[in-house]
Each structure stands twice: as C-alpha cells, then as structure tokens.
Structure 1
Amino acid sequence: MDLGTLLTLLGVAVAAGIAGGILAGLLGVGGGIVIVPALYFALSLTGMEPGLTMQLAVGTSLATIVFTSLSSARGHYKRGAIDAGLLRLWAPSILVGVVLGSFTGGLIDGRILIGVFAAVAAVVALDMVLRGRKGEVAPKGFSKPAWAGFGVFAGSVSSMMGIGGGTVCVPLLNFLGYDIRRAVGTSAAIGFVIGLPGAVIYMLTGLGAEGLPPFSLGYVNLVAVAVIIPLTTTFAGVGVRLAHSIPQRALRLSFGLFLALTSARMLWDLAGAVA
C-alpha cells in the first residue's frame, strides 16, 4: 500500500468515524451503515479483489461497532429509551444469528455480502419512507419462539452486513409496535451483542487470507479501527441529542433516505464487481 493510498484510507476513516458516530446515536445503527461502504470505497483503491474488500470492510466495521454501540447505548439509557426486558428476551437468539451470519460472511464470496447489504438497505429504506404511522403505538404480542426467529434473522443479516443491528432492528421493532425512539435506543444496545462476537469470528475466518493490507488481523484492519473508534464514540453523543429533539416522522425519513442512497451506491459497486 503506497503512501497516497494510505492517506486516502485514513481520510475516509476519519470522515466515516464522524458520520458513523452521529448516525449511531441518531438512528441506533452502530455506524456500520456508513463505515462499511466508506471502507469498501477506500480499500478498493488498493486494487484488492472486490469480494475480499467487502469482507475486510464488514469485519472492520463490526470491530468498531463494539465501542460505538456502548457509547450510543449509554446516552439512550440515560434518557430511558432502552427496553431492558426486550434485550433479555432477544439477546440470546440474536447471538445465535450473529454466529451463523459471521461464519457465513467470512467464508462465502464477498460479492454476496455486497448484494445482501444493498438489498436489505433498499427494503428497509422503502419501509421507513413510505409506511406511515397512525395513532398511538403499542408493542404487539408474539410468542417467545417468534421473537427468537426475529432475533436469529436480525443477528444473521446484521453480521453479514457489518452493521450494529439498527438497520434491521429499528424498522422491525417499529413495525412490531415500538415507539421509534425506544426502538433506536434498544437497537443501540443490541449493537454490542452483534459487534463483539461478529468481529472475533471475522478475525478468525480471515486468518491466513492472501492480499490483505498491512496491519490486518484476519478480516479486521487495525489501523482503520484505531482511527474510527475514538471518533464514533465521541460523536455518538451528538446523534443521541438529535434523536431526542427532532420529530419522529423526520427521524424515520432521514433514516430511510440515507439507506436508499447507500443501497444505490452498493448496487452500483456490485454491478462493477460482477461485470
């Protein structure tokens, strides 16, 4: 990796850290929805194979989410926006999903991860922008097996996308009847459950992989992690304050529009990767 490419990677990491931190607090997404495409773009400048680039971006993102989610969750907890009962109910099944999704993501062709990322982001964006909410919201009743199924799905998709869970969990919880701010706060805490085991598995499955940039531990680049974590944890507090000061409809629209743009960019990258 030459000096120019290294400086570009560091610059992108700084921008992704700031934006990812704000969005982590604002939307409960762990920042991965910004960090993954940003790192993918920066790492692609090194000439790495697209599939390997995506796996490295996902693994590195999950490592940063471990710390970002803690910072974001702390802010939401102080404002009473985390449902502890839901965390106890959902965390075990989410962990199962993370293990399944992380091993799958670390072993399959990375281009499949690009497709998963783009498709899920597009569906969620349409849901958040087009679906309205009328009247008061109240959590819907589901059996524990149903909640377990939701958790395995959320954990699997999130770990394959390299995100903290908010991209999947926020709209899912909102659809199930949870207030959008409570969904955001709880999803921020769920990010830790996804990030820690996910990052460890991507490290292990990437050990010995050829073509990785310097200072990579498996599919986690330690340089990018060191740059991003201080920024995301610092700026997560800014996002938390925004989440509790803007209208709920504006929060849903901002989430949906951002995901739509992200999905479009990733689909463009996927088309180039398979051409």
Structure 2
Amino acid sequence: MSGSTALSVENVTWAPRRGAPLLIHPTSFTLAPGRVLGIVGPNGAGKTTLLRMLYRFQAPLSGHIRIDGEDLWAMAPRVAARRVAAVLQEQPTDFALSVREIVALGRLPHRTGFAAPGARESAIIASALDRMELHGFADRPLGTLSGGERQRVMMARALAQQPQLLVLDEPTNHLDIRHQLEALALIRSLGPTIVTSLHDLNLAADLCDAVLVLREGRPLGFGPPREVLREALVSRAFGVTARRERLSPSGRAHFSFHLST
C-alpha cells in the first residue's frame, strides 16, 4: 500500500441536476489517516450516492471533498485513480479476461506510456492474489466464478491499485460467512483510509473507528460507534425499536430490532 490519507468532506450535497430535490443534504465529516469509517442507514438513505462522490463517479452539487488538503475533484483523473480505489456491489460478469488480468487492471493508473509490467508490477499483482486467496483461480475467466469469488477478485484489483483511500460499497455482499469474517479482518489490516457502507450495525460497531448514520440523505450522527450507535438514534434512523445489549463474556454490543408499534 502507498500509505493512507486524511479525508475531509465539507458541506457536500448532491442532486441529479440543479433545482432537483437534494438526495444528499449538507454533509460534513473528517477522517484521520488509516481510519475506517462505516456509513450506515436504511435502504435509500444515500449511502451509495455519497460513496460515488468519494470515488469520483458523480461530482458534488456543492461542497468539497479533500484528501490531504487537496480537492479530489480538482485532480487530474489519473492522479485521483492512483490515490482512490473502489470496490462496488455491482460486479462484471461478462469479462473475457482472466482473474489475473482483472487484478492487473489495478496497476493501470501507475503505468506510463505503453511500458510492459515489470517484476515489481508482477509482484504487486501476485501479492493481491495471495491476500484474497485467488491464486487457484488466477487463470480462470472472471465470468466462470461465483458472486463471492468475483467479489474477492474486485477486492484484489483494488489492493493492486495501492490506494491511499479505499471506498467499499457493502464489501461483504455475496460472501459466505467465512469469507465475510476474512474480508473484515483484511479491511482492518490494509493500511489505507477506508470508507465503507455496511448494512449490519453489529459489523459496523466491531469494524469501524467512526460511523456516519444517514436517513433520507441527511446525516443524523457521526463519531465513534459507541457514542453514535445509541438506541434512540438507531431507532429513528431505521424506523424500528432498537435494543442494544451486551454479550457476555466478550462485552461486545449487539443490536436487536423490533417493528415499532
């Protein structure tokens, strides 16, 4: 990895066009280098929309996104691609490329001209395959893999990119229980600053240094999970009755949910 970066989001908003209703209302937060932020909220809360601005898929209507003080949207696309990588929920299924070739795409922002990959590039690609336990699949076409296997390939491609900011949209989707746990442990160990959307509040509490709670595109809370993920705020965000319990002997918090009456 190429280190991590400080992330600052300043009064960011988004709408499909000027004059249309906002889908993301003014949102601000800061994240120190190497920290993990989880974005949580019900379906339609704006989680994916916010992430798209962080990986330069759609520009903010207003506000700024800065990494290490530099405006992300003022950077040249190639420069931004060296610093920010994303793993999305949507997965390609019809690529005629092999797993190794897909992972190698993560190195494109770092290449100059038509230079062929050297020994260092090959070592980075091999390391990414190793970390996601994909060497046995390296020569298989991507379209022959299961959803969980493709998810691991997309993660390996992002690792090969060596980003300073890694954006993950529901990274445990499509993964079985074993690979969910492995993916979460991997996320904690990666090194770059990470912003991830999660649907499981218990995972967010265990994994993240900070959480941002969204509802209908509005931030309801930001900060350490133990301070933000309180019963009243979670109940308000998800429209349910939330109960936070302590699991013995670990002492870890666990949420249970009931329909509000």
Normalised to the residue count of structure 1, the TM-score between the two structures is 0.28
Going by fraction, where is strand more abundant, 1 or 2?
A: 2
Q: Which has the higher helix share?
A: 1
User: Highest relative contact order (Cα 8 Å, sep 6+), 1 or 2?
Assistant: 1
State the TM-score, normalized to the length of structure 2: 0.29
